[in-house]
C-alpha cells in the first residue's frame, strides 16, 4: 500500500567535523550570555559553526589546540576569558547527530521559535483556554537521524500546555482553601510534576519542596562566592524576587544529567518563577477540560502534512535560516517522504459457537455482546453492595444482568443484595468482610461517587486480605436507562473474564508457544517502590493468562525480580499443558531507546538463567520485543487521498533504524485526529521466525485485550501487564493473592 511519513530527506556531503570544548572564566550560567561572549570575535560569528553554549563544532581546524579570547559581559562590562580547547575529529556519521541537530536548533531560533525542554514552540501565537487557566504554545518536534533510507529529518506538530498561574499562585490559592493541610496538598500536587522556569524556558521535574529554604537563603556559586537566590537572579537575569517568604522547589538531576565528578547536585527553584506544565489527575478526569484542549491539539493527517510543508517553506524562504544549511552544504527535500508498506487482512474472530470478522475498522463490539463467549463462568453465588440512595440503580443493574447475560452464554442467579447505611469507606469494608464466605464468586460494589481512597481500600481487601474477584461500578455509569443494557453487557463480559472465562479467540497457528508481557509502574508522586508486572499466556489460543508482580527500589527501571516471576509463569504453563513451552515471545513495554541494550543484555540474561533452572537441556527459542508507544513517527495512507492507514498496516523499511531490527504497526482505527503507530524493536531473537510472522503475531495479539471489543495499541499481554502494575502500584500497594493470579482479576 502507498504510504507517506512525517520525514523529510536531507542531502548532505560526507565530511569530518572538528569538535572543541568552550569554557569561561569566571563561570557564566546564562546561556545567551555565553553565545554573546563568543560572538564578540569575528572568527566565531556566522553560520559556519555549530555551538550549543559548551561544545563548538567547526568544519575547519583552528591553528592552535587551545585558543583564548578576551570578552566583556553585557551587564557590567567585566572581563571574561573564553577558552576553546580542541577535543577530537568527529567522523561524518557521528557529526550528523551532534552538529546537524545543533544547526536545526539554530534554524528554529531564527524562525522565532523558543526551545522548551527538547522541542521548539512559538509563544507569539498561543492558543488561550481561559476557562481552565491554560495556554497552548504551538510548535514542532524535529529530530535528525540516519535511517535505512538515508539521512532524514523527523518533523511533527507538537503543543506545549502551560498553566497561566505560577507555582506560587497555586500555593497561595491552595493555602486559602485547605488551611492546615496546605503542605500535604501542595506536595501531593507538585511532586512528580514538571515546571517551566520563566527566565530561561527550561523544564524541571519537582522531586520535593524544601519548606525551610527561602529566596533569602544562601548557596555557594561556582567561583566559591556565597550569595542569596535573590542576589543570583538579580545578577544573572535582572529579575527582582517579590515574595521573600516562599519555600523552594527541589529538583534532583538524574545520574545522566549530573555534572562530572560524581557529586549529586540539588537544584533549588523559586515557585514565583515557575509555571506548572501539563495536566494533573483532576484535569484529566474532567471531560470539558480534555475536550477544550483537544479542539486545539487534535490534528488530522491533512493538517499535519500542511504544517510540515509550511515548516520547510519557512526555512527555504528565510535567507538567514537557509544560509545556516547551505554553509554546511545541507539541502532539504520540499515534500515529505513517500514509500510503500503492507496491510494485513481483517482477522477472523472466534466466538463460542460461531466466527465473525473484525472488519476494516477492527471493531467487533456488536458481535461481542450478541454471540456466546468461548468459555462462560455462570454467576451462581455473588454479592452486590450499595448505599440506600443507589438501591433502585442496583436492582435495575441486577435485572438487566439477568436479561442480557444468557444471550452471551452466561447464566446468572439472584445475588445477595447488601444495602449500606452510608458511603463511608469503613462501612463498605465492614460489610464485605461480614458477608464474604468461600463460595462467593465475585463481589460487585456500587459507589455513589468516584473516590480513589475508597476504591483502593476495597481493591486491597479483595485482592490481598480476602481474595475474591471484585467489580467496582460508579452509580452514574448505570443511571441512564437508555444506555443501561449496553453498559451491563460490557460489565457482564468483564466479570466473566475476572472469573476465568474466555470471551473470543483468534487463529494462532503456532503450537507450544508462550507469550509474555512486561511493564513497570513508577509511583513518582509518593516516591515509593516501583511495581513490575508480568503476564504469561497459559494455553494455545492465548486466551488464559497467569499474572504476577514484583516490587523494586525507587527509580529502578529494569525488573530485577523478573527471573522468579518467569519461573513461576513457566511452571504454571507446565501445569496446564503437561510440558514446557518450546517457544517464548516476550513483549517489553516502558523502555526508551537509551535502554534497549540493557534490556537486550541484562533482562535476556535473566531469561536464560530462568530456563537453566528447568535443566541444562531446556533451551526454548526466545524472542524479546520492546514495544514503544510514545513515538513521534506518523504514517499516512497516500491514496486515494491523504488519511489514516487502516488497522494492520506495517512499515518495516526506509524509516526504520540502520542498526536495529524494528517495524512500525498501526493496529487501531481512529475516528478523529491522526493515528499513532506502535514501534516494535526486536532486541533478541532465536525464534527462527521470518519478520512477517513476528509482525502478524504482534497484530493478532492486539485483538485479545478483553476489556475492549476491538484492537488496542499494544499486544494484549503488554496492556494486561500495564493494567496490573498500575492497579497494584496505584491502589493495592501489596502482593495480590496467588489465588487470583490465574485470572485477569485486575481488569
Per the domain annotation, does 563 fall within a domain?
A: yes
Among left, alpha and beta (phi > 0; psi -120 to 50; other), residue 177 is alpha
Per the domain annotation, does 380 fall within a domain?
A: yes
Is residue 591 a contact partner of residue 626, using CB atoms and an 8 Å limit? yes
Task: Read off the CATH number of the domain in which 695 is found.
Answer: 3.30.420.10
Q: Where are the alpha helices (DSSP H) in 7-154?
A: 31-39, 92-95, 101-110
Quick one: 280 and 398 in the same domain?
no
Quick one: 404 and 517 in the same domain?
no
Is residue 625 a contact partner of residue 693, using CB atoms and an 8 Å limit? no
Is residue 355 a contact partner of residue 348, using CB atoms and an 8 Å limit? yes
Quick one: 636 and 656 in the same domain?
yes
Quick one: 490 and 547 in the same domain?
no
Per the domain annotation, does 562 fall within a domain?
A: yes
Please list, in sequence order, all residues whose beta carbon lies within 8 angstroms of the beta carbon of residue 624, skipping any fewer than 6 positions away. Answer: 586, 588, 599, 600, 603, 604, 607, 682, 683, 684, 685
Nearest to 683 by CA among 732, 740, 623, 724: 623
CB-side neighbour CA atoms (13 Å) of 289: 15
Task: Read off the CATH number of the domain in which 275 is found.
Answer: 2.170.260.10
Is residue 139 a contact partner of residue 158, using CB atoms and an 8 Å limit? yes
Residue with cell 491523504: 642
Q: What is the DSSP letter of 641?
A: S
Per the domain annotation, does 148 fall within a domain?
A: no
Is residue 520 helix, strand or coil?
strand
Quick one: 281 and 385 in the same domain?
no
* Residue 525, C-alpha cell as written in the block: 508522586
Distance CA 142, CA 157 (A): 9
Is residue 204 a contact partner of residue 197, using CB atoms and an 8 Å limit? yes
Please list, in sequence order, all residues whose beta carbon lies within 8 angstroms of the beta carbon of residue 660, skipping any fewer than 6 positions away. Answer: 596, 681, 682
Quick one: 669 and 545 in the same domain?
yes
Taking the model in full, what pTM does it have? 0.86
Beta bridge partners of residue 51, listed in sequence order: 56
Is residue 131 helix, strand or coil?
helix
β-pairing, 583-589 vs 513-521, is parallel
Catalytic residues: 519, 557, 589, 722
Quick one: 518 and 607 in the same domain?
yes
Host domain of residue 387: 376-499
Which segments within 148-253 are labelled E, that is strand? Answer: 150-166, 194-197, 202-205, 208-210, 218-220, 226-228, 248-251
Quick one: 667 and 695 in the same domain?
yes
Long-range contact pairs involving 549-557 (C-beta distance under 8 Å, separation at least 24) = 549/724, 549/725, 549/728, 549/735, 549/736, 551/735, 552/520, 553/529, 554/522, 554/527, 554/528, 554/529, 554/530, 555/522, 555/530, 556/530, 557/520, 557/530, 557/590, 557/591, 557/595
Distance CA 25, CA 697 (A): 59
Which segments within 30-166 are labelled E, that is strand? Answer: 50-51, 55-58, 66-72, 79-90, 114-116, 119-121, 127-129, 134-147, 150-166
Q: At what angle do helices 562-577 and 604-612 cross, to 10 degrees?
A: 50
Per the domain annotation, does 230 fall within a domain?
A: yes
Per the domain annotation, does 363 fall within a domain?
A: no
Last residue of a domain, one of 297, 328, 353: 297
Per the domain annotation, does 259 fall within a domain?
A: yes
Q: 123: exposed, middle or buried (C-beta count within 10 Å: 0-12, 13-18, 19+)? A: middle
Quick one: 441 and 517 in the same domain?
no
Is residue 601 a contact partner of residue 271, using CB atoms and an 8 Å limit? no
Q: What is the DSSP letter of 411?
A: -
Distance CA 170, CA 246 (A): 12
Q: Which residues of 634-647 are buried (b: 16+ CB within 10 A; e: fewer)?
A: bbbbbeeebbbbbb
Is residue 305 a contact partner of residue 642, using CB atoms and an 8 Å limit? yes
* Residue 637, C-alpha cell as written in the block: 495512507
Nearest to 476 by CA among 454, 455, 444, 447: 447
Quick one: 722 and 575 in the same domain?
yes
What's the confidence (pLDDT) of residue 130? 92
Last residue of a domain, one of 480, 499, 518: 499
β-pairing, 649-651 vs 662-666, is antiparallel
Beta bridge partners of residue 538, listed in sequence order: none
What's the confidence (pLDDT) of residue 262? 47
| Cβ count within 10 A of residue 348 | 13
Is residue 442 a contact partner of residue 498, using CB atoms and an 8 Å limit? yes
Q: How far apart are the first and last CA of the chain?
A: 36
Nearest to 475 by CA among 382, 388, 415, 379: 388
Q: What pLDDT, in 10s, does the model give residues 280-298? A: 888 888 899 999 999 999 9
Last residue of a domain, one of 499, 526, 550: 499
Task: Read off the CATH number of the domain in which 430 is found.
Answer: 3.40.50.2300
**Cis peptide, bond prior to residue 640, ω within 30 of zero:** yes
Quick one: 540 and 448 in the same domain?
no
Is residue 657 a contact partner of residue 570, using CB atoms and an 8 Å limit? no
Nearest to 649 by CA among 633, 669, 630, 629: 669
Per the domain annotation, does 141 fall within a domain?
A: no
Phi–psi pair at 96, nearest 5 degrees: -55, -50
Helix then strand then coil, in percent of the chain rounded to 5, is 35, 30, 35
Ranges under pLDDT 50 in the chain: 259-262
How many domains does the structure of the chain reveal?
A: 3
Distance CA 83, CA 65 (A): 10
Please list, in sequence order, all residues whose beta carbon lies within 8 angstroms of the beta carbon of residue 347, skipping any fewer than 6 positions away. Answer: 357, 358, 362, 506, 699, 700, 703
Q: Which residues of 607-619 are buried (b: 16+ CB within 10 A; e: fewer)?
A: beebbeeeeeeee
How far is the CA of 335 from the CAs of 322, 615, 673, in angstroms?
16, 57, 21
Quick one: 728 and 633 in the same domain?
yes
Amino acid at each position: 500500500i502507498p504510504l507517506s511519513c512525517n520525514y523529510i530527506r536531507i542531502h548532505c556531503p560526507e565530511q569530518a567535523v572538528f569538535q572543541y570544548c568552550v569554557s569561561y572564566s569566571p563561570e557564566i550560567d546564562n546561556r545567551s550570555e555565553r553565545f554573546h561572549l563568543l560572538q564578540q570575535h569575528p572568527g566565531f560569528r556566522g553560520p559556519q559553526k555549530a555551538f550549543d553554549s559548551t561544545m563548538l563544532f567547526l568544519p575547519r581546524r583552528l591553528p592552535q589546540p587551545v585558543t583564548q579570547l578576551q570578552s566583556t559581559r553585557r551587564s557590567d562590562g567585566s572581563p571574561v576569558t573564553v577558552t576553546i580547547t580542541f577535543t577530537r575529529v568527529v567522523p561524518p556519521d557521528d557529526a550528523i547527530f551532534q552538529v546537524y541537530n545543533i544547526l536545526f536548533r539554530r534554524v528554529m531560533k531564527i524562525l522565532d521559535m523558543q526551545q522548551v525542554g527538547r522541542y521548539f514552540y512559538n509563544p507569539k501565537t498561543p492558543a488561550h483556554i481561559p476557562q481552565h487557566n491554560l495556554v497552548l504554545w504551538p510548535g514542532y518536534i524535529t529530530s535528525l537521524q540516519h535511517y535505512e533510507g538515508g539521512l532524514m529529518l523527523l518533523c511533527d506538530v507538537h503543543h506545549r500546555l502551560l498553566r497561566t498561574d505560577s507555582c506560587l499562585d497555586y500555593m497561595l490559592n491552595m493555602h486559602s482553601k485547605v488551611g492546615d493541610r496546605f503542605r500535604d496538598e501542595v506536595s501531593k500536587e507538585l511532586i512528580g510534576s514538571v515546571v517551566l522556569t520563566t527566565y530561561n524556558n527550561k523544564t524541571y521535574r519537582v522531586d520535593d519542596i524544601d519548606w525551610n529554604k527561602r529566596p533569602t537563603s544562601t548557596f555557594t556559586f561556582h567561583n566559591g562566592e556565597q550569595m542569596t537566590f535573590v542576589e543570583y537572579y538579580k545578577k544573572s537575569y535582572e529579575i527582582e524576587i517579590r515574595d521573600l517568604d516562599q519555600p523552594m522547589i527541589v529538583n534532583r538531576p538524574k545520574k545522566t544529567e549530573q555534572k562530572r565528578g560524581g557529586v549529586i547536585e540539588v537544584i533549588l527553584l523559586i515557585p514565583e518563577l515557575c509555571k506548572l506544565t501539563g495536566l494533573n489527575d483532576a484535569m484529566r478526569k474532567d471531560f470539558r477540560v480534555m475536550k477544550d484542549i483537544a479542539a486545539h491539539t487534535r490534528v488530522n493527517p491533512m493538517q499535519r502534512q500542511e504544517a510540515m510543508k509550511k515548516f520547510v517553506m519557512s526555512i527555504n524562504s528565510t535567507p538567514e535560516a537557509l544560509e545556516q544549511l547551505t554553509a554546511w552544504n545541507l539541502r532539504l527535500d520540499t515534500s515529505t517522504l513517500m514509500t510503500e508498506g503492507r496491510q494485513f487482512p481483517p482477522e477472523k474472530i472466534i466466538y463460542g459457537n460461531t466466527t465473525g470478522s473484525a472488519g476494516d475498522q477492527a471493531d467487533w463490539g456488536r458481535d461481542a455482546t450478541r454471540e456466546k463467549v468461548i468459555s462462560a463462568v455462570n454467576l451462581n453465588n455473588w454479592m452486590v453492595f450499595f448505599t440506600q440512595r443507589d438501591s433502585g440503580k442496583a436492582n435495575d443493574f441486577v435485572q438487566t444482568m439477568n436479561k442480557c447475560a444468557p444471550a452471551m452464554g452466561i447464566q446468572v442467579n439472584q445475588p445477595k443484595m447488601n444495602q449500606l447505611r452510608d458511603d463511608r469507606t469503613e462501612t463498605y469494608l465492614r460489610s464485605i468482610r461480614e458477608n464474604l464466605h468461600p463460595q462467593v464468586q465475585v463481589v460487585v460494589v456500587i459507589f455513589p461517587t468516584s473516590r480513589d481512597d475508597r476504591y483502593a481500600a476495597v481493591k486491597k481487601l479483595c485482592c490481598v486480605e480476602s481474595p475474591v474477584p471484585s467489580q467496582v461500578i460508579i452509580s452514574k455509569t448505570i443511571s441512564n436507562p437508555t444506555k443501561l443494557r449496553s453498559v451491563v453487557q460490557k460489565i457482564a463480559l468483564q466479570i466473566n473474564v475476572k472469573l476465568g472465562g474466555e470471551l473470543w479467540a483468534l487463529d494462532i497457528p503456532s503450537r507450544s508457544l508462550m507469550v509474555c508481557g512486561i511493564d513497570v509502574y513508577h509511583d513518582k508522586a509518593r516516591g515509593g517502590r516501583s511495581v513490575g508486572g508480568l503476564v504469561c499466556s497459559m494455553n494455545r489460543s492465548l486466551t488464559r493468562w497467569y499474572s504476577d508482580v514484583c516490587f523494586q527500589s525507587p527509580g529502578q527501571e529494569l525488573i530485577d525480580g523478573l527471573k522468579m516471576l518467569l519461573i513461576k509463569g513457566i511452571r504454571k504453563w507446565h501445569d496446564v499443558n503437561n510440558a514446557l513451552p518450546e517457544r517464548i515471545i516476550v513483549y517489553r513495554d516502558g523502555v526508551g531507546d537509551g535502554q534497549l541494550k540493557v534490556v537486550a543484555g541484562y533482562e535476556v540474561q535473566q531469561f536464560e538463567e530462568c530456563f537453566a533452572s528447568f535443566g541444562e537441556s531446556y533451551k526454548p527459542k526466545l524472542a524479546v520485543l520492546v514495544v514503544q508507544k510514545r513515538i513521534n513517527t506518523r504514517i499516512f495512507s497516500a491514496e486515494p487521498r491523504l488519511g489514516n492507514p487502516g488497522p494492520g498496516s506495517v512499515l518495516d523499511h526506509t524509516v526504520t533504524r540502520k542498526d536495529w531490527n524494528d517495524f512500525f504497526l498501526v493496529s487501531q482505527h481512529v475516528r478523529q485526529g491522526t493515528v499513532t503507530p506502535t514501534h516494535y524493536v526486536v532486541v533478541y531473537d532465536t525464534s527462527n521466525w521470518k519478520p512477517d510472522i513476528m509482525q502478524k503475531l504482534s497484530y493478532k495479539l492486539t485483538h485479545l485485550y478483553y476489556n475492549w471489543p476491538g484492537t488496542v495499541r499494544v499486544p494484549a499481554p503488554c496492556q494486561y501487564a500495564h493494567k496490573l502494575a498500575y492497579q497494584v502500584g496505584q491502589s493495592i500497594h501489596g502482593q495480590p493473592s496467588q489465588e487470583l493470579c490465574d485470572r485477569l482479576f485486575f481488569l
